[in-house]
Amino acid sequence: MQNTKPIITAENLVFRYPGSEFRLAFPKLEVAVGAHCVITGPSGCGKTTWLRLLSGIERTQAGEITIKGQRLSELSNTAMRDFRNRECGFIFQDFRLVEYLSLRDNILLGVTLGSKRDRGPAIARLDELANRVGIAHLLDRPVIKLSRGEMQRVAVCRALIHNPAVIFADEPTANLDRKNSDIIWDLINSEARSNDATVLAVTHDADSINRFEQVVDLDSLMETAAS
């Protein structure tokens, strides 16, 4: 049975990029422990920005975001990075891979940067995750030699390798066909459920949206305004 206690809360958020008239404001959102929540809405409404705010990659100008009881506004940039490396996994739309490193090193990069963390469990999980998404035979190949679909799968493994409490996924299957999209979603969902992790995703794919029990439509719930 899903825990109804919220792991993420966001209240009275306001955000604007410097020098831009594009403004986002959102009154309240709660996502429960273990919930699978998807953010939907038309292109340009702020879905990716919203995901970056909730994960602490971007800072809000007003309001408060709390993850696992930690107010993000109370964290310095360094503390925020350490908290995110420890508690969150992020699948970026543009992958954010280091091209000259191998797949193996890219997947372990977050664990390496979190130097206080024991790498042993992550190393033990690497082959299993890579095998499930069909890239185990490529682990020692430089990322620059991969197709975009293969890069996508590396990015997914990197986000899951340390068993994060929250998985943020920004269009995690955008470069994949239906078969491989299903493999990725099945992996994300099974990993999340086995660890009671929360999934917060952005996707345009209608079939993928049907996998989620909580749907947040930004077009109807969020004020997008210029002032």
The DSSP letter of residue 114 is: S
Contact between residue 67 and residue 7 where contact means Cβ atoms under 8 Å apart: yes
Among 89, 15, 17, 5, which residue's Cα sits nearest to residue 55?
A: 89
- Whether residue 154 lies inside any domain: the answer is yes
Question: What CATH number is given to the structural domain containing 26?
Answer: 3.40.50.300
- Whether residue 118 lies inside any domain: the answer is yes
- Whether residue 103 lies inside any domain: the answer is yes
Identity of the amino acid at 86: R
User: Rounded to whole angstroms, how far apart are CA atoms 119 and 95?
Assistant: 22
Contact between residue 108 and residue 115 where contact means Cβ atoms under 8 Å apart: no
Contact between residue 139 and residue 126 where contact means Cβ atoms under 8 Å apart: yes
Provide the domain limits for residue 18. Answer: 6-225
> Number of structural domains, the chain?
1
Task: Give me the helices (H) in the chain, please.
Answer: 47-54, 77-87, 103-107, 109-113, 120-132, 148-160, 178-194, 206-209, 218-221
- Whether residue 22 lies inside any domain: the answer is yes
- Whether residue 76 lies inside any domain: the answer is yes
User: Rounded to whole angstroms, how far apart are CA atoms 53 and 65?
Assistant: 8
Could you read off the pLDDT tens digit of each residue along the chain, which spans 227 residues? 456 789 999 999 988 888 877 778 888 899 999 999 999 988 888 889 999 999 999 999 999 999 999 999 999 999 999 999 889 999 998 899 999 999 999 999 877 765 555 678 888 899 999 999 999 999 999 999 999 889 999 999 999 999 999 999 999 988 789 998 999 999 999 999 998 999 999 998 888 999 999 999 887 765 443 34
- Whether residue 1 lies inside any domain: the answer is no
- Whether residue 83 lies inside any domain: the answer is yes
